[in-house]
């Protein structure tokens, strides 16, 4: 069975600071990994995904994530936070044989 | 850009009542899903649907739940007799054909409040 662990239900940063949201996964087969973002009162929007190939993937709004197999991690980063980045971020895992499994989410708070 | 649409955006119902949540997936997609998110908790898989039948369901998806694709465009989730604990945001998602890279396209959700 797959699972996702997101460290920290809330992360607070100042505008312009580095954003780091942590995600570790468990999967018995090579995983597909995703980050979704949920803005207030909106649905889930795909930020980026890793399936195969380059382990550093770039997404929308300046976010990127690196797949590290040895660490079973897929942490999300952004060099400089904007106020508009305040949202809830979900890491998710799947594979060719199973459905998408989400982590519990991390709320990103950005202060001026 | 094609999108998944859901109605209603918010529904309030009394315990024991039947609720139908509606979804219009992206038009050329063939795989459909329902997920739910109880307030403050993670997004949980309920059911997947392909070729007019359930392909997978979680233990949450008990006999109180059913899904249907009544026509060529809608995909519905019915809760037969709602309980307080069914209060949640319900997300519909769809996936295209071809190589399965697992990416799902989600609607904006239907918030269900059971009183």
Among A26-30, A107-111, B57-61, the least confident range: A26-30
| Mean pLDDT rounded to a whole number for chain A | 92
A62 touching B (Cβ < 8 Å): no
A34 touching B (Cβ < 8 Å): yes
A95 touching B (Cβ < 8 Å): yes
pLDDT at residue A1, as a whole number: 75
Separation CA B10–CA B8 (nearest Å): 5
Candidate from B41, B56, B107 with C-beta closest to A43 = B107
Taking CA–CA distances from A52, the nearest residue in chain B reads B101
Give the angle A76-A87-A52 at the CA atoms, nearest 5°: 30
pLDDT at residue B15, as a whole number: 97
Q: How many residues in chain A? A: 112
Q: How many residues in chain B? A: 115
Taking CA–CA distances from A49, the nearest residue in chain B reads B103
Separation CA B93–CA B72 (nearest Å): 16
How many other CB atoms are there within 10 angstroms of residue B2's CB atom? 12
pLDDT at residue A105, as a whole number: 93
Q: What is the pLDDT of residues B54-85, one digit of tens each?
A: 999 999 999 999 999 988 789 999 999 999 99
A34-58 average pLDDT score: 90
Task: Please give, rounded to a whole number of angstroms, the shortest distance from the CA of A93 to a CA of chain B.
Answer: 8
Parts of chain B with a pLDDT under 70? 1, 98-102
pLDDT at residue A95, as a whole number: 80
CB A16 within 8 A of CB A30: no
Give the angle B82-B85-B87 at the CA atoms, nearest 5°: 75
Q: Binning pLDDT at 50, 70 and 90, where does residue A43 land?
A: confident
Tokens found for residue B86 = 């069914």
What are the contacts of A57-61 at 24+ separation with CB within 8 A? A59/A35, A61/A85
A107 touching B (Cβ < 8 Å): no
Which residues of B are less than 8 Å from A105 in CB distance? Answer: 42-43
Supply the DSSP symbol for A97: T
- Exposure string of A15-31, with b = 16+ CB inside 10 Å and e = fewer, is eeeebebbbbbebeeeb
Taking CA–CA distances from B91, the nearest residue in chain A reads A43
Of residues A16 and A53, more confidence is placed in A16
pLDDT at residue B73, as a whole number: 85
pLDDT at residue B100, as a whole number: 62
Taking CA–CA distances from B111, the nearest residue in chain A reads A41
Which residues of B are less than 8 Å from A100 in CB distance? Answer: 33, 45, 93, 102, 104
Counted across chains A and B, CB pairs separated by less than 8 A come out at 51
Separation CA B34–CA B101 (nearest Å): 18
pLDDT at residue A29, as a whole number: 84
């Amino acid at each position: 069975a797959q699972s996702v662990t997101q460290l920290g239900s809330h992360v607070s940063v100042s505008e312009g600071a580095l954003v780091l949201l942590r995600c570790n996964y468990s999967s018995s087969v090579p995983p597909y990994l995703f980050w979704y973002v949920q803005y207030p009162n909106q649905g889930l929007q795909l930020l980026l995904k890793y399936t195969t190939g380059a382990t550093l993937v770039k997404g929308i709004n300046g976010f990127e994530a690196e797949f590290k197999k040895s660490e079973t991690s897929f942490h999300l980063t952004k060099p400089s936070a904007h106020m508009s980045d305040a949202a809830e971020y979900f890491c998710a895992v799947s594979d060719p044989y199973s459905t998408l499994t989400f982590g519990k989410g991390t709320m990103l708070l950005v202060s001026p | 850009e094609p999108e998944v649409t859901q109605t209603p955006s918010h529904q309030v119902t009394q315990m024991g009542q039947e609720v139908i949540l509606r979804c219009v997936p992206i038009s050329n997609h063939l795989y459909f899903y329902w997920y739910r998110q109880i307030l403050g908790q993670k997004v949980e898989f309920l059911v997947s649907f392909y070729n007019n039948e359930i392909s997978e369901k979680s233990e949450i998806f008990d006999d109180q739940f059913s899904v249907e694709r009544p026509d060529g465009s809608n995909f519905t989730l019915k809760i037969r007799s709602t309980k307080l604990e069914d209060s949640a945001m319900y997300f519909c998602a769809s996936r295209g054909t071809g190589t399965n890279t697992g990416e799902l396209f989600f609607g904006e959700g239907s918030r269900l409040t059971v009183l």
